[in-house]
Structure 1
Amino acid sequence: MPFQKERSAGFLANQMARLFAKGLQQRIRPLGLAPAQFMTLLALWDEDGLSQSELVRRLDVEQATMANTLARMERDGLIVRRSNPNDGRSQSVHLTRIAAALQGPATDAARAQNGAALANFSDDEKEQFLALMRRAIAAMHDE
Structure 2
Amino acid sequence: TDSITFRYINTDPDKRFVENKDVLLLSAFDNISKEAGFYTLRLQGRNPLLKRELDKYGYSSVKKAKNADLLVFQKSNFNTSPDLYITQNLWQSAKKLTDINPQMKEYNWGTTELIRWTAFDGKQSQGILYKPENFDPSKKYPVMIYF
Fold in common (TM above 0.5): no
**TM superposition score normalised by structure 2:** 0.25
Of Structure 1 and Structure 2, the greater strand share is in 2
**TM superposition score normalised by structure 1:** 0.25
Of Structure 1 and Structure 2, the greater helix share is in 1
Q: Which has the larger radius of gyration?
A: 2
